[in-house]
Amino acid sequence: MILPKHFVLGACIGVCALLMETSAQAQTVKYTSVALAQSDFMSKLDGEHPGGWDFDIIQLIRPQKSCHRSSQQGGLNTFDGFGFGFNDALSAPNGMNVNMGRSFHFTVLDLLSAETRKCKWGGRFSVGFGVDLRNYRMTGHTRFEELPDKQVVLSDYPEGSIPNSSKMHIFSTTFNLKYIQTFARDFTFALGPELYIVRRPGNRHDIRNRYTLCDENQTNEVKERFKGIRTNKVGVNLVATLNYRHAFGFYVKYSPTNVLDCNYGPSFETLSTGILIMGK
């Protein structure tokens, strides 16, 4: 039996409509199930975290902060401790036998300093100023002596005398720039140049000699002092420090600059080393 064309066309349209309705209902059921499942899951999460969840996408994609944006703040520091140690004269002329074990050195590295914020790897920079007192002591048979024309020379003690000591003191103000690195959590290493300035003339840098004159009848102790010796006004040190938990440590200072004015005294360099007692 041959069905009329309009009947076949109507049947096809009806079947397509039924399929589309069935598909739409299935999709609605699917979406409704997913929505209900998601709602139930979020309800459980809200029950476990009553404060809610805070997902800050900007915070997640924000790049790492640079050195000057670190969360550890820099700032000003006052009195970062002091150091006590010994001096030695390097490349000194013959006859200038400085006894390092009796040539004391005192320094305050930072009376006031300013630090940058700490980088994520623990490094930072610091600038500051302090004070420095160097003592060069000879215990041999020669002494420091200042002549009337301000020349500092190495001379022998008077004949028949018993030498005690010959000391030269140099006081200076220092300005430093340091790179500071913390490692292994408890240790801090610092390295950098230091500029020192010596005010002259001044009573804080002088020469002091002590010896005993002996004759047949008596002995006399002689004390000599020469004030305001001619030093270099400006010099440079290279400073390295290592401390533990900012409580105590060690320091080394090397100065390639001549201490005395080359036109008024012997040329020599300085090496200082000692212990640090930190201020905080």
* Digit-coded pLDDT (tens) for 43-83: 544 554 455 544 443 443 344 444 444 335 668 888 888 99
Which of residues 280 and 254 earns the better pLDDT score?
254
* Digit-coded pLDDT (tens) for 204-229: 789 999 999 987 778 889 999 999 89
The pairs formed by 183-189 with CB atoms below 8 angstroms and a separation of 24 or more are 183/122, 186/244, 186/245, 187/242, 187/243, 187/244, 188/242, 188/243, 188/246, 188/249, 189/240, 189/241, 189/242
Residue 93 has pLDDT above 70, yes or no: yes
Nearest C-alpha neighbor of 184 from the set 243, 229, 266: 243
Q: What whole-number distance in Å separates Cα of residue 9 and Cα of residue 11? A: 5
Q: What whole-number distance in Å separates Cα of residue 81 and Cα of residue 243? A: 11
Other C-beta atoms within 10 Å of 150: how many? 15
Average pLDDT score over residue span 116-144: 90
What's the pLDDT at 155? 94
Nearest C-alpha neighbor of 128 from the set 83, 73, 79, 188: 79
* Digit-coded pLDDT (tens) for 135-191: 999 988 899 999 999 999 999 999 888 999 999 999 999 999 999 998 888 899 999
Tell me the whole-structure pTM to 2 decimals: 0.70
Q: Identify whether 201 is preceded by a cis peptide bond (ω within 30 of 0).
A: yes
What's the pLDDT at 200? 66
Q: What whole-number distance in Å separates Cα of residue 80 and Cα of residue 16? A: 88
What's at 37, amino acid-wise? Answer: A
Residue 237 has pLDDT above 50, yes or no: yes
Count of H helices and E strands in the chain? Answer: 2, 13
Residue 42 has pLDDT above 60, yes or no: no
CB 111 within 8 A of CB 131: yes
What's the pLDDT at 112? 93
Nearest C-alpha neighbor of 113 from the set 200, 241, 204: 241
Structure tokens at 186: 């408890």
The DSSP output letter for 273 is E
Q: What whole-number distance in Å separates Cα of residue 103 and Cα of residue 88? A: 7
Whole-number Cα distances in Å, 254 to 91, 145, 191, 223, 251: 13, 25, 12, 31, 10
